[in-house]
Structure formats: C-alpha cells, structure tokens
C-alpha cells in the first residue's frame, strides 16, 4: 500500500529502473488512475477466475452424477454408454464454469478485500509480478524508500513466469 498517487509514481519509476517491466505492475486506487499508471484489469478486480474454477468443479461433479444416473436409468428406448457420461460431465463443467464465472464477475476480488479500507482512504495498492528469486530484493527496495509501507503478501508462484 502506497500512501498516495505521487508515491505510486515514484515507486513505478524505481521499479522500472530495477528492470521490472511496466506490464508486470498494477496499481489500484479509489479514483481512476491517470493513463501513465497501469491499472488493475477487470479479472484482477473481480472474483471471475475463482468463480469460474469453482463452477467448473461443481459443474463437472453434477454432470458426472447426471451422466451416471442417465446410464443407470436410461430414458425408454435409448441406451446410454460411457461416452455419454463423459460428454455430460464435460457439458456440466463448461456450463458450471460459464455460469459461475458470470456471477463472480459482479463480485469484488476476495483476495483484495483486506485492502478495501486503505484504498477508500486514498492509498494506492501496488501489485508487482516478479520471479520468486527477486521478491526479497524488490521488497527491500520498496521498504528502503517507504518504511511505512505494508506488504500484503505473496501469491503462490506460477508454473512458468511469463
């Protein structure tokens, strides 16, 4: 959390000097940020990804149960096979992911809930995507310039850093 927009600009410049690309930085503030500050995307602001993941899992389970039920108790005159179970499971997963994702798109990101109050007070949230090996270096650089800044934590590393 950075105290204000001027601090956020200064931190952006320092991160650029530390060879962190602008595409790996995101800022979130109470008001819309100026064009020179990369803003958080719709996916980062909402619970879309979490909702879609949950919907795929639940939809697949419901689809699997429906497929097994249709196989054990087929409609008269129809025979259901294993492929039908797989197709209904896949259909359930796709529908569940889509429906749940649409609902979650209207919900603010639950991982950012802890930062809502400081953002409402005028502070600016900085999200930086860096390789795991550089996290301590970047945190040290930020803490050196702004000792008052609080660090919100670290997300689990991705399989391959883009």
Contacts of residue 120, defined as CB under 8 A and 6 or more positions apart, other chains included, come to 30
Selection from 27, 24, 47, 43 nearest residue 35 by Cα:
27
Q: How many CA atoms lie within 13 A of 29 on its CB side?
A: 20
Contacts of residue 110, defined as CB under 8 A and 6 or more positions apart, other chains included, come to 47, 50
Task: Please give the chain's pLDDT, 162 residues, in tens.
Answer: 888 888 888 888 888 888 888 888 889 888 888 888 888 888 888 888 888 889 999 999 999 998 888 888 877 776 667 777 888 889 999 999 999 888 888 888 877 888 888 888 888 888 888 888 888 888 888 788 777 776 666 666 554 444
Paired tokens of 36: 């020179």
Selection from 120, 97, 104 nearest residue 46 by Cα:
104
DSSP line for 53-88: HHHHHHHHHHHHHHHHHHHHSPPTT----HHHHHHH
Q: What's the confidence (pLDDT) of residue 152? A: 65
Selection from 135, 137, 128 nearest residue 40 by Cα:
128
Q: What's the confidence (pLDDT) of residue 161? A: 42
Dist. CA 81–CA 68, nearest whole Å: 9
* Local structure of 39: helix, strand or coil: strand
């Amino acid at each position: 959390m950075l105290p204000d927009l001027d601090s956020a600009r200064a931190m952006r410049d320092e991160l650029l000097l530390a060879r962190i690309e602008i595409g790996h930085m995101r800022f979130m503030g109470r008001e819309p940020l100026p064009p020179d500050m990369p803003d958080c995307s719709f996916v980062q602001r909402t619970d879309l990804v979490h909702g879609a993941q949950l919907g795929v899992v639940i939809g697949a389970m419901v689809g699997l149960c429906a497929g097994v039920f249709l196989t054990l108790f087929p409609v008269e005159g129809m025979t259901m096979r294993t492929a039908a179970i797989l197709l209904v499971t896949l259909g359930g997963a796709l529908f569940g992911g889509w429906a749940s994702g649409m609902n979650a798109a209207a919900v603010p990101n639950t991982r950012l809930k802890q930062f809502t109050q400081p953002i409402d007070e005028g502070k600016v949230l900085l999200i930086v995507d860096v390789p795991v090996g550089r996290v301590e270096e970047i945190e040290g650089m930020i803490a050196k310039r702004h000792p008052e800044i609080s660090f919100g934590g670290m997300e689990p590393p991705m399989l391959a850093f883009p």
